[in-house]
Amino acid sequence: MGKRTEFLYLSEPDCIAAGVLDAKKCVDNAEEVFRLLAKGDYLMGGAGRNSHGLPLVFPSESPFPSMPLAGPDRRFVAMPAYLGGRFDVCGVKWYGSNAANKRRGLPRSVLTVMLNDKETGEPLCLLSANLSSAARTGAVPAVGAKYLARRDAEILTCVGCGPIGRGCLDAIAAVMPGLKTVVCCNRSPENANKMAEHVRRDLGLAAMVEPDLETAVRQADVLSVAVSRTAPLHFQRAWIKPGCTLLASGPFQCDEALWRDMRIVLDNTALHETYVKEGKENHDPTYGNHIGTPIYQLIDDRKLPPLPDFPTLGRIILDEQKGRTSDEQILCFINDGMAIFDMGLCHDLYHTALEQGLGQKLLLWESAAQCEE
């Protein structure tokens, strides 16, 4: 007889009960992952062990009538990772994305995470991962705000007020002790109004909706950018006040002078080097239109130093590099999404669920047929 294998399934309500909406818990988890990242105790996909993930790219046209075609934000991506330290777990985030999902009553992206035993490959836990992905996406720039923003920062401007923007807001607010006002700026007034209502009702802070991008940005002590590729942004140097901290969780363009004036902090140098390598191999001058693309292009033009010269947040946390060096300095934290943060947060949700008896156990097999004699 072979070994009986079962795993835990956590629905979205189960993840909420396990604490996925606890912003402080998520920020603390992300900071712990940054420490492991800086020490090198992790693996991601690809030969270089630092690939963001493997995308399934749809063609613009096809002779096959049922084959999906390219569209706004339309893709599937598998993001495998191993995270060491106390987590010591393998897993994969798998998601499909389609901007048209909103018309179907669905989120733009539908995400799941599977955690696996690192030795046997057996599944440990399958999680509904929309909320955990938004929470970790928000927690990562919040760690950036904790270590890079001025302590007297009072105004947070959120450009992008969808689910990811709200995740960023909740986490960043948890690490800004002097926060007084949140400025909500979004293409859709409905989402901006919803975020402002959430700020007043749930965070007890002042909130204002500002549809004009320049007016919203000029007020920011901390500027959170959480928009998709379908919402291109361009910031002018004159809009950014001295001492501002930009937290880039979505793509944006800005004047070359701003890029050169800012102190740029990366999440993971090797991740961005992998994006550049893949872009050059594919003869893609846009490097896949990632958050760091404008930086890569300026490096190509020798207008910015090479990627290894930029500090990383993990090494700043470990006190191996400097973050902010003056109150007037403008900082920009570039974070482009890594599955190790999903593994860290989902690991803790899984263990909380085990402690509290949450979720549903599912049987993989009583005894694997391939083990039967």
Chain segment 162-191, per-residue pLDDT in tens: 988 999 999 999 999 999 999 999 998 999
Average pLDDT value for residue range 151-164:
95
Question: What pLDDT, on the 0 to 100 scale, is given for residue 290?
Answer: 87
Q: Which residues contact 232 (CB under 8 A, 6 or more apart)?
A: 251, 252, 253
- The Cβ of residue 314 has, within 10 Å, a number of other Cβ atoms equal to 24
Average pLDDT value for residue range 51-68:
94
Average pLDDT, the chain: 95
Spatial CA neighbour of 127 closest among 117, 137, 112: 112
Q: Which CATH class is domain 5-133+340-371?
A: alpha beta
**CA–CA dist 223, 117 (Å, integer):** 39
pLDDT in tens, 29-49: 999 999 999 999 999 999 899
Domain 141-338, CATH: 3.40.50.720
CA dihedral 134, 135, 136, 139 (to 10 degrees): 120
Question: What pLDDT, on the 0 to 100 scale, is given for residue 300?
Answer: 95
Question: What pLDDT, on the 0 to 100 scale, is given for residue 337?
Answer: 87
User: What share of the chain has pLDDT > 70, as a percent?
Assistant: 99
pLDDT band for position 287 (cuts 50, 70, 90):
confident
DSSP structure class, residue 231: S
Average pLDDT value for residue range 112-138:
97
3-state secondary structure of 164: helix
Average pLDDT value for residue range 337-363:
97
Domain-by-domain residue ranges, the chain? 5-133+340-371, 141-338
pLDDT in tens, 82-107: 999 999 999 999 999 998 998 999 99
Fold match between domain 5-133+340-371 and domain 141-338: no
pLDDT band for position 372 (cuts 50, 70, 90):
low
pLDDT band for position 73 (cuts 50, 70, 90):
confident
User: What share of the chain has pLDDT > 90, as a percent?
Assistant: 88
Note the pTM of the prediction, 2 decimals. Answer: 0.94
Asked whether the beta carbons of 220 and 189 are under 8 A apart, the reply is: no
